A = this chain, B = another copy of it.
Amino acid sequence: MTIEASKGEGQGRQIRLGMVGGGQGAFIGAVHRIAARMDDNYTLVAGALSGDPARAKASGAELGLDAARAYDSYQAMAAVEGRRTDGIEAVAIVTPNHLHQAIAREFLNAGIHVICDKPLAVSLEEARSLQDLARKTGLIFAVTYNYSGYPMVRQAEAMVAAGELGDIRVVQVEYPQGWLATPIEESGQKQAAWRTDPAQSGAGGAIGDIGTHAFQLAEFVSRLEVSELIADLTTFVPGRRLDDNAQLLLRFGNGARGMLWASQVAVGCENGLKLRVYGTKGGLEWAQENPNLLWFAPHGEAQRLITRGGAGAGPAAARVTRTPFGHPEGYLEAFGNIYAEVARAIRAAREGGKPDPDSRFPTVDDGARGVAFIAAAVESSKAGGKWVRIGSRP
């Protein structure tokens, strides 16, 4: 296996990056920054890091930003950076969900590429408007469904594409967590607070926060589209305003069947995203918590354990691999792979080149699909559990 030990080094000038959200005390903003930094593809030069001007300044200083580029509003940042000759080329949006759309529009309109956290938006209308604007501007718009950045997820997708599983019949995906088993949002846990607040999260609780990751992973690896679903969304913790447990039946366009479970009240579970795909010729299993492994069972043969960097892993995995087999990569590296793929796309765009056919990163279309999924699940559950269709991609 050939490993490109540090992906961005030597690939040319770094991409100038800005960030909206992610000030002091934020979790996901810091993750985005490590992901951007990992391969030396980006340099963070501007930010509107907090809605609170003082905090925005302080956060900018902490991160070593030029004070003039630590903006106190994203509107100001888009306007100024859009005009600077050394302005940012891309912006990372890491605010709560309800702000994504307005921010993304502002930067798209300023001619700046967008990397937006998921879910893309809090309504299907918002999502559609972003799809339209992205299409119109021709800018790159990535949505950080980061789990699809894992090398062995890429490997799985490649194996499905190569027909190694035959026709897909069954797709089982689950994402259990236990951290919201008690109402910690009531005692000021910041991560819990916004995730359980419909005003900031939209209509989906567990289904939006983690169910969308599971959905995206299932469609990405199976290369199928869910055509309809039944959802039973439940709120177990008294006083909570959004679902904290979501159980769904899925039907795929080709006749395959699936189940999706997302929960925030599964005590003892940490971040248990797991995918299993079964076809006529073989079965696959991958679990996020030990992500360097991929189980593959060819029909009628002994199961194999394909390892990142190992004998059974091919070019799709190698493309996003930094270390040899047995040297585990994790969550940050997978997140970094999304940033690395986007960097390749931005560099290709700079040069007016064609997109790389082997590139894989979730786009605004994947983001919109996730929003459509949330909407369908909420609708099905409200209707007491009936089949609801999701339109297919454009």
Q: Which residue numbers of A lie inside 8 Å of B, CB to CB?
A: 3, 5-6, 9-10, 14, 24, 26-27, 29-31, 33-34, 37-40, 62-64, 169-170, 172, 174, 177-178, 181-182, 230, 232, 234, 236, 245, 247, 249, 251, 257-259, 261, 263, 265-272, 276, 278-283, 285, 288-292, 295-307, 309-312, 322-333, 384-387
Q: Are B331 and A266 in contact (CB-based, < 8 A)? A: no
Q: Are A257 and B232 in contact (CB-based, < 8 A)? A: yes
15 additional contacts (CB under 8 A) given A9-B33, A170-B265, A303-B307: A5-B27, A14-B64, A34-B38, A37-B40, A181-B280, A182-B299, A230-B230, A266-B283, A267-B278, A267-B297, A267-B299, A268-B303, A269-B297, A304-B305, A327-B331
- In the complex, A223→B20 CA distance in Å? 46
Q: Are B247 and A249 in contact (CB-based, < 8 A)? A: yes
Q: Are A291 and B232 in contact (CB-based, < 8 A)? A: no
8 A-B pairs whose Cβ atoms sit less than 8 Å apart in the complex: A5-B27, A9-B30, A172-B174, A259-B259, A265-B278, A266-B276, A270-B307, A270-B324
Q: Are B9 and A27 in contact (CB-based, < 8 A)? A: no
Known contacts A27-B3, A311-B301; is A279 also within 8 Å of B257 by CB? no
Q: Are A278 and B302 in contact (CB-based, < 8 A)? A: no
Chain B residue nearest to A259 (CB atoms) is: B247
A373 to chain B, nearest CB (A): 17
Chain B residue nearest to A39 (CB atoms) is: B34
Known contacts A232-B249, A232-B251, A268-B297; is A329 also within 8 Å of B332 by CB? yes
Q: Are B299 and A181 in contact (CB-based, < 8 A)? A: yes
A151 to chain B, nearest CB (A): 11
- In the complex, A177→B326 CA distance in Å? 9
Q: Are B306 and A302 in contact (CB-based, < 8 A)? A: yes
Is chain A's interface secondary structure helix, strand, loop, or mixed overall?
loop
Q: Are B331 and A329 in contact (CB-based, < 8 A)? A: yes
Residues in B whose Cβ lies below 8 Å from that of A29: 5
- In the complex, A278→B323 CA distance in Å? 25
Q: Are B312 and A283 in contact (CB-based, < 8 A)? A: no
Q: Are A6 and B34 in contact (CB-based, < 8 A)? A: yes
Q: Are B305 and A303 in contact (CB-based, < 8 A)? A: yes
Residues in B whose Cβ lies below 8 Å from that of A281: 267
- In the complex, A174→B174 CA distance in Å? 12
Residues in B whose Cβ lies below 8 Å from that of A331: 323, 327-329
Residues in B whose Cβ lies below 8 Å from that of A304: 302-305
Q: Are B330 and A329 in contact (CB-based, < 8 A)? A: yes
Q: Are B261 and A259 in contact (CB-based, < 8 A)? A: yes
Selected contact of A266 from candidates B170, B310, B322, CB within 8 Å: B170
- In the complex, A46→B247 CA distance in Å? 50
Chain B residue nearest to A297 (CB atoms) is: B268
Residues in B whose Cβ lies below 8 Å from that of A328: 288-291, 328, 330-331
Chain B residue nearest to A299 (CB atoms) is: B267
- In the complex, A338→B384 CA distance in Å? 40
Residues in B whose Cβ lies below 8 Å from that of A326: 177, 269-272, 288-289
- In the complex, A174→B178 CA distance in Å? 20
A378 to chain B, nearest CB (A): 16
